[in-house]
Amino acid sequence: MTKILPFKAVRPTRAYAGLVASRSYEDYSEEELKAQLEYNPYSFLHIINPGYKFQHEIAGEKRFGMVKNRYLEFKEEHIFEQDEQACYYIYKIKTRETSCCGIIAAASAEDYKQEVIRRHEDTIAHREELFKDYLKVVGFNTEPVLLTYPDNTVINDLLDKRMKSRPEYEFATYNKETHSLWLIDDPENIQQIKEQFGAMEKLYIADGHHRSASSYLLAKESKENNPDHTGKEAYNFFMSYLISESNLRIFEFSRLIKDLNGHSKEEFLILLDEWFRIENRGHEVYKPSKKHHFNMYLDGEFYSLYLRKTNYTFTDSLSELDSYILYENILKPILGIEDLRNDKRIAYIHGRNDIIELKTRVDKGEFAVGFGMLPAEIAEIKQIADENLTMPPKSTYIEPKLRNGLTIYEF
């Protein structure tokens, strides 16, 4: 059983919502970031980049404290106000290609600990601690963990009915997305949602493994330091965006490698031949259409690589994952890439970007070779999580990506 609760969000008043909402900090180019900070005083970027006010770079705990100060200023100026009643929040994103919606709510840190909320990626301990310390100082979280659940008719019908009314927020963005938010504050609907999630045996993290882990560390530390702990305190939960599996969009990451690890082109192809049936596609832009098929771009030409299944043994769900096959048979043994997170010889392009970017970067000489594959499927992700296995880094790029600053969870 999962515990998914409503909460009293701190959020922008209706007039400021479109101005406050921002993409993830890392998504902005240097020019975009400068323009937002210079011309939009209401952007949430001012909170997470507090040094801009003083034209000074600030890092570490000093930055954490100043993030909190900027946040409090937004509250004092009534740009942000807190809801008086605990709500669930429906968030819908409509793009040029598709639309999706889900529920923003509070998920249980204990459910994460007990693996009721399941993960499929490893986390890095120092990043967990760093973000835990950040949360502890600022006292709020604005970037929800993306959780997914099997499609549920009761929840779908409830959302559809609520979305027929006027949204609390509705605004468009420069990249031609429309963002809408509704409040679910009716006690009967709240109880229905709580019961539907409570009947689910498990949920899966789609995106936000470090945020989940850090939130659990904060809950654990706060519990240990609170002699009056009851389990109902806000620190026992973390903000999440719960989305049905059919609303989830999963993309792959292509891999770019700077060199062939001392091999000539011919030697490299011979080494690949042990594990893959290779076909030179020349200038034909090739993208795989089946699992265990890969595309490769090398020396101005595309290649298809088909896994030789007579040579390769599938032992568990992880061994069948294409990103794992690529790592175990090419990246590590042939190209010498052991550390997929930190090795400077490897870079990634997520599948939202065109294969032409991969070709262009190789043609420019930035990289020697590029590899692509089909995206993982949700069934694969769940099976790997259920077997307590972890996928290689950058195995999935998952959407939707929410805007920061529209709902804030305080603890």
> What local confidence, expressed as pLDDT, does residue 316 receive?
96
> What local confidence, expressed as pLDDT, does residue 59 receive?
78
Distance CA 11, CA 70 (A): 14
Report the 3 state secondary structure along 194-257.
Answer: HHHHHCCCCEEEEECHHHHHHHHHHHHHHHHCCCCCCCCCHHHEEEEEEEEHHHCEEECEEEEE
Strands of 276-282's sheet in order across: 276-282, 301-307, 293-298, 369-372, 253-257, 346-350
> What local confidence, expressed as pLDDT, does residue 354 receive?
77
Yes or no: say if 36 and 28 are a contact pair by the CB < 8 Å rule: yes
Q: Tell me, what amino acid is at 48? A: I
Q: Which residues, listed in sequence order, are joined to residue 253 by a DSSP beta bridge?
A: 350
Residue 153, classed as helix, strand or coil, is helix
Q: What's the full length of the chain, in residues? A: 411
Question: pTM for this one?
Answer: 0.93
Maximum CA extent, the chain: 69
Those residues with Cβ within 8 angstroms of residue 188's Cβ, 6 or more apart along the chain or in another chain: none
Question: For the CA atoms of 349, 148, 400, 411, what is the dihedral angle to 10 degrees?
Answer: -110
> What local confidence, expressed as pLDDT, does residue 273 receive?
97
pLDDT along the chain (411 residues), means of 10: 96 96 89 93 95 82 93 97 98 92 98 97 92 96 97 97 97 92 98 98 96 97 97 97 96 97 98 97 94 97 96 95 97 97 94 86 98 96 96 93 95 94
Distance CA 250, CA 398 (A): 5
Distance CA 317, CA 102 (A): 28
All domains of the chain in start order, with CATH: 4-249+399-410 (3.90.1530.10), 253-395 (3.30.1760)
Yes or no: say if 263 and 271 are a contact pair by the CB < 8 Å rule: yes
